[in-house]
Amino acid sequence: MQLSPYTIAFTGILKREFLRFIHQRTRFLSALVRPLLWLVVFAAGFRAALGVSIIPPYQTYITYETYILPGLCCMILLFNGMQGALSMVYDREMGSMKVLLMSPLPRSWLLFCKLIAIALLSLAQVYAFIALGFLVDVEPPLIGLLTVLPALLLTAVMLGAIGLFLSARIRQLENFAGVMNFVIFPMFFLSSALYPLWKMRESSEWLYWVCSVNPFTHAVELVRFALYAELNLEALLITAGTTLVFTVLALLGFNPEQAAHSKGR
């Protein structure tokens, strides 16, 4: 019984996000167009029809399209996570979030609900994207569609938490172009989403190093392995650790006392 206001808040927030989601059908489509462009156009231009070398979890040679699919799934989560977090900043100042934050429930719970709601809706987009992947012969095993779910959820929460942390701390990033240039692009390109890291290492040792400390790399690898029903423990630990750290930091950032405290200083 005691939990019920929490549950009510959660379902309420989820419902609201869902409504917003179906009202903005173009947002859903545009979220699909971006990774599809990469999958169909970029991969075609890359012309790796002769196959990408074998790296785990793949057991044999794969097409480039097959290689980038997990990275593009994470790309959807990355954009949605950042966009969702930013919209929360605006919401907090002028929109419904303002009302929401007046609720007697702890802010941390409300923010957490919001994070999960964004993540769940992102998952729908990712699965739609994977389904379209089958049209271009990218066919992960069907069991992988199930095992990838927790990996995608964790990644979505991690990226949402990072977005939330950034939007609470760094005011200059409030416009989306700034986030694109300074967060999304570096995170995406300095990762294993588009190219295996051994390839990066061949051209530059320090770029390889940056890529391998990028938590997005580990999220992509977690999703990549999970999509083939395998567990990459290292990637899981790093992704889970990063999620925990940024969730705590984000919640602290939205804590009114903390905020007042830092403003006072």
Partner 1 sequence: MFKPPFVKSLLLAALLASPVAQAATAYVSNEKDNTLSVIDLETLEVTQTIEVGERPRGIILSKDRTKLYICASDSDTVQVMDLATHKIIANLPSGEDPEQFSLHPDDRRLYISNEDDALVTVVDTVSHEVLAQIEVGVEPEGMAVSPDGRWAVNTSETTSMLHWIDTETHELIDNTLVDQRPRHVEFTKSGDRLWGSSEIGGTVSIINVASREIIKKLNFQIRGIHPDKIQPVGVKLSADGKYAFVALGPANHVAVVDASSYEVLDYLLVGRRVWHMEFTPDQKYLLTTNGVSGDVSVIDVDDMKVIKSIKVGRYPWGVVTLE
Q: Which residues pair with 62 in a beta bridge?
A: 52
232 half-sphere exposure, CB direction, 13 A CA radius: 22
Q: How far is the CB of 45 from partner 1 (least distance, A)?
A: 10
Q: How far is the CB of 64 from partner 1 (least distance, A)?
A: 10
Residue 156 to residue 83: CA distance in whole angstroms: 12
Applying CB under 8 A, does 142 fall inside the site for partner 1? no
81, 159 in Cβ contact below 8 A? Answer: yes
Is 233 in a helix, a strand, or coil?
helix
Residue 20 to residue 36: CA distance in whole angstroms: 23
Q: How far is the CB of 63 from partner 1 (least distance, A)?
A: 6
Is 62 in a helix, a strand, or coil?
strand
CB closer to partner 1 out of 50 and 177: 50
227 CB contacts (<8 Å, ≥6 apart)? 69, 70, 73, 140, 144, 145, 147, 148, 151
In the set 2, 4, 26, 60, which binds partner 1 (CB under 8 A)? 60
Residue given tokens 């997990």 in the structure block: 70
Per-residue contact track with partner 1, 19 to 48, x per CB under 8 A?
Answer: -------------------------x--x-
CB closer to partner 1 out of 4 and 59: 59
Applying CB under 8 A, does 50 fall inside the site for partner 1? yes
Q: How far is the CB of 141 from partner 1 (least distance, A)?
A: 10
In the set 14, 32, 36, 62, which binds partner 1 (CB under 8 A)? 62
Residue given tokens 């395998």 in the structure block: 230
Applying CB under 8 A, does 3 fall inside the site for partner 1? no
Q: Which residues bind partner 1 (CB under 8 A)?
A: 44, 47, 49-51, 53-54, 59-63
